[in-house]
Each structure stands twice: as C-alpha cells, then as structure tokens.
Amino acid sequence: MSQRLQSVVIVGGGTAGWLAAGIIAARHQGRMKSGFSVTLVESPTVPIIGVGEGTWPTLRSSLQKMGVSETEFFRHCNAAFKQGASFAKWTTGADDDAYYHPLMMPQGFTQVNLAPHWLCKGDGHSFCDAVTPQGQLCEAGLAPKMITTPEYDAVANYAYHLDAGKFAGFLQRHCTGKLGVRHVLADVTTVNQNEQGDIRSVGTQQAGEIAGDLFVDCTGFTALLLGKTLGVGFKECSDVLFCDAALALQVPYPTPDAPMASHTISTAQAAGWIWDIGLPTRRGTGYVYSTRHAGDDEAYETLMRYLGPEHRHLTPRKINIRSGHRTTFWKNNCVAVGLAAGFLEPLESSAIVLIELSAKLIAEQLPANREVMDIVAARFNEVSHYRWGRIIDFLKLHYVLTQRRDSAFWCDNVDPAGVPERLQNLLKLWKYQSPWFFDEFDRLEEVFPAASYQYVLYGMGFRTEALPQDNTGTAAAAARYMNDAALLSKQMRSQLPRNRELLNKIFEYGLQPI
C-alpha cells in the first residue's frame, strides 16, 4: 500500500490515450530516471473514431507544456485556427438567424458585467459585437494572430481545428521520441485483478503480460477496464440530449485556395444540426441528429441539401452516439479518460477538452502510493461529475432557448421535463439578473465561464430585465470597455491576415519559437 506508484499503464490509443500519455509523462519527466514509467498499450487492429476535430484554447497550453512545436503541429495535423463557433438557424430558423460564441472574453470581463449595460443601450449591435472584436474577425475570415506572433501567443484567443487521425499519430511520435513513453502494439486478451479487486496487469496476445500501478482506460466506448472488468455502470442522458447518431463526411474544397472559416459553423436542422469545420485541405462536416425524429435516409438527404448535389457521390460514415457518462470515473486503481468515460454530442467541442482536463488532474494529483489513491479518486470523481453535469446543462441551453416550433424535435426540446433542474433555476434567475461569477461559475474546474452563457443567451434573443438605475455605478467603466471593443475590432481587422494566408505562411516559414 505504501510502495511508491511508479508505473502508469494506458490501455488504448487515439487522441485520448496519447494526449493522456503526453500530459502525464511531461508532468513527471523528472521521475523518469528513478524508474517512473508511462506505457501505452494499443491494438494494432482497432481503428480510432477520429471525428473529434474541434478543440478549446486549453489545448494550446497542453501542447506547450508537452514541448510540442506549434509549427510542427500545424504542419503534421492538417490543423487550422478556431476562434469560436457560429450558430445558424438555432433561434427562429430564418435565413438571417445566426450568432457567435467567440473564444475571447468580453472586454473588462473581470471588472464589469457588460451585459446589463448592453441590454439598456439597445443600439442594434449584437452582444458579441458590443463586447468583443472576435465575431467580426470570424465574419471577415481573419486569423487570430500574425506570422510574427510567437508560437502559442495570440492576438485574439484561439483553439484549433485538426485532423483527429493525424493528431493521434503526431502525439504518438512526440510522446515516444521526446517524453519517454513506452509504446506497445498489442491486443489485450485478459484483464487480471488481485484479491482486492485492483487491476494487476493486462494480458496481451503479442507482448505477454503488462503490469502497472495505475491503469488509464482509453479503450473507447467498450470501456474494457472500468466498465467491463470493474463493472462501473453508465448514466445515460438521452432524456436531456436527444441526438444519438451522426453522419460524418470529409468534403474537398472546390479549389486549393478557397476561403476557410476560422470558426466552427453549426447549422440547425429539423432533427438536429450540421457541423462544418474548415481544415487546410478539406472540410469536416456531419449531421448530428435524433433517430427518434428522423430516419437515416432523411438525415442523409438533409446533409446533402446542405452540401449541394455535387457531393452526392460521397458516402458518409454513421456514428452512433450514446449520450452520457460513467457513474464513477475512477475506481480502485483504474481511471477512465475519453470515450471510456463518456460522450456527449460535439456541439461545443467538449470531448478533447475533457480528455485534457482529466489527464491534467491525474498528472497533478497522481497519488504517491496505493494507500492514498482512493482519496485522490474521490476528489477526481467529484470534479468530474461536476464538469459533466455543467457541460450537459450548457449543451441543453442551446436547445431550450429556441423559438422554433417547426418540427417535433424542437418542440420536444423545450419541454421542461427534459431540462435539468439546475438549468431551469438559472434561467429563472437570468430573467432578472445577467449570468455572472456568482451563478456557480467561480469554481476552478468550470469548462464554460459565465461569458459563454452570456454569448448563447443573448445571441438567441433571451432578455434579462435590466434597469439603468441599477448599473449607474459601473456605467462609465462599461462605456469605456465597449468603446475599447469597438476600437480593438477596427485595429485588428486592419492588421490581421486572412485565415488561409497565415496558415500558408506557417507551412512555408513556421512561427517564431518561444
């Protein structure tokens, strides 16, 4: 029990396995010489899912801490910039119905809540345009930095779009070549436990038995270790989030120099929504839908209407979605990361950020020995349950604010029976006061800050009762910050290059290393 934890064994590759391996190995490099090891066991025959192409800005920090060159990341992962997401036809379904959820915070966000002042102003500017320049940067197809901006630095906050298949291979090479991760290509045939129920080792067909002190389950939907071996159940949330299938396609550009969006485009449909992600060499698209509200043939026709008849020769790949998560994420000496922990529809690119946050927590809180592991596990489980719950709330927010009543899917989504109680209470509160730090958004493990809720709420036409006399004490500061946003927008639009232009320069010249 008191013997020092020295070996971490990750079972499963893909984005989850290799990102977890890199984050843990980078954090504990100093221990490698004294016997600490990170081993990743990956089947040579099981393909990865490979459709998680959107990320959050946290990935910049994760890659930087792993010692990854951002230039090489762009070059080898078919990566591009992401500055947020646009949501089209989510509110009314009209052709001009669209808003942005940018990645930049409102100006002066930690000092003044600009939402009440914007509500009182009523000058016709969208909330996003009034408080940040990033929506206009996306609208103009501009990049978030310049070629002279060093690696990982930003002019406007950004994340990435990437090719998930190439990303996993890139991480594998970095982890094994630079971070000392041991890579074992082998099929797991048995999971062996000790008398206390801990996993002692995994038996493999090609490499024999591989023992470890801590096992990280990255085996995807099968959850071989945590689910099948340790019997941890799965908590579905299909009563809240109805989308349970996706048709995914990779679409070529009409020309190599075609414009490329620097944000995810999400367009609502009769039974779900279509994602559209611009990578340098192609677009990643797909229709996420509810099979209770549309059959596969109907979903295919919806996707083809969006893409145009010239793409009918393409065959989409169907992915079944089981929305929900494990009832426990860390049991005994096994912790699940990635799809083994759970999955939610990719509306706000939460899959990779959950991998990052989980791996970071494991790396930072890595138990010294088995004696204290259950204490660390309890803390990990508490944080993880909170995160998953808040992401479910935030995804549902996009649906319950709709004014659409043109299909059963949208009508069913506004039924209070499918809205989490916490979200219902916050919506009542937000009728009278705008989302702010005190609405339980002050915890360190928040994925979506109060600003994200503001962007979605006011982008979708939600109204908070705002009285000018309630905000007189901060009126001057708010006016200054909103003026700063307008000036910054003008400045950035005159200085920043087009998205594809910057990516071409990165591929040719590279960014300046930090």
Question: What whole-number distance in Å separates Cα of residue 300 and Cα of residue 137?
Answer: 32
Going by their DSSP bridges, the two strands 245-252 and 282-289 should be labelled as antiparallel
**Dihedral of alpha carbons 452, 356, 343, 138, sign:** positive
Does residue 43 contact residue 219 with C-beta atoms inside 8 Å? no
Residue 174: how many CA atoms within 13 Å on its side-chain side? 27
Instruction: For residues 174 and 62, give the distance between their C-alpha atoms in angstroms, rounded to a whole number.
Output: 13
Beta bridge partners of 247: 287, 318
User: Which two structure tokens, joined as six digits, stand for 233?
Assistant: 């159940």
Angle between helices 14-27 and 58-65 (to 10 degrees): 60
Neighbours of 138 (CB within 10 A): 26
Task: State the Cα–Cα distance between residues 322 and 187, nearest whole angstrom.
Answer: 25
Rg of the Cα atoms in the chain: 23
CB neighbour list of residue 320: distance below 8 Å, 6 or more residues apart? 244, 245
Catalytic residue among 82, 89, 360, 396: 82
Among 228, 236, 178, 240, which Cα is nearest to 202's? 228
Is 82 one of the catalytic residues? yes
Joined tokens for residue 86: 């646009």
280/288 Cα distance (integer angstroms): 23
Q: Which amino acid is at 167?
A: F
Sort strands 264-269 and 84-88 into parallel, antiparallel or unpaired: parallel
Q: How many CB atoms lie within 10 A of CB 302?
A: 19
CA distances, 420 to each of 237, 305, 361, 374, 427 (Å): 10, 33, 27, 30, 11
Q: How far, in Å, are 13, 357, 387, 427 from residue 447 at the CA level?
A: 24, 9, 7, 19
- Collapsing DSSP to helix, strand or coil, 239 comes out as coil
Residues acting as catalytic residues: 82
